Amino acid sequence: MKTDELANLIDHTLLAPEATQEDILALLDEAEELGTYSVCVSPSRLPLPRPTSVKVAAVCGFPSGAHSIATKAQEAEELTAHGVDEIDMVINLGAVKEERFDYIEKEIKAVRDSAPNVVLKVIIESAALTDEEIVATCNATKKAKADFVKTSTGFHKAGGASIHAVQLMRSVVGDELGVKASGGIRDGKFATELIEAGASRLGLSSSRKVLETI
């Protein structure tokens, strides 16, 4: 894969809680220089300090996913008002562990309804789930009409993306949804392996290093 092709699959991400406006400006500069698909930021960093030529994504219910459905829906509505192109929402992992997949579908649908015209990615924290839970969660995501399933926040102690999780997620969603791999992707070799496994988007905070090592 060519460098520019991989760059166009990257959401260049800065979600550190201590990030400053200066850091966000640097993120925008680097994204534009590298030619990434988008930047992904925290809701409090919107509106961005300046316009950008790349797409803009923001997180919702981040990082725990333990927010109420109403809170996630309201946050999605606010993000839409700020003009984001994409939303990456975290599901309620407790509900997954309780096998309440109807609840998962309901919360995703609430965010979908609050942000009908943006790309919606659903973060499932695959490293914290069994294969059976991943399959059921991906099916709930499809039913709720989201656009992507996403492996990880990058903040969970269980870990980030894996080849196995991406392959499994792709096998469930087929060509209907995108698959975004994120969390722990720090070199070009792993990034390209994830693409080969079925990822159609990557969430990276170290985009330059990854692109320099493919």
Task: Annotate the chain with three-state secondary structure.
Answer: CCHHHHHCCEEEEECCCCCCHHHHHHHHHHHHHHCCCEEEECHHHCCCCCCCCCEEEEEECCCCCCCCHHHHHHHHHHHHHCCCCEEEEECCHHHHHCCCHHHHHHHHHHHHHHCCCCEEEEECCHHHCCHHHHHHHHHHHHHCCCCEEECCCCCCCCCCCCHHHHHHHHHHHCCCCEEEEECCCCCHHHHHHHHHHCCCEEEECCHHHHHHCC
Tell me the Cα Rg of the chain.
16
Q: Residue 113 catalytic?
A: no
Exactly one of 72, 88, 121, 142 is catalytic; name it: 88
- Is the CB of residue 46 less than 8 Å from the CB of residue 82? yes
Q: Residue 187 catalytic?
A: no
Exactly one of 180, 187, 189, 209 is catalytic; name it: 180
Exactly one of 72, 121, 142, 150 is catalytic; name it: 150
Q: Residue 189 catalytic?
A: no
Q: Which sequence positions are flagged as catalytic?
A: 88, 150, 180
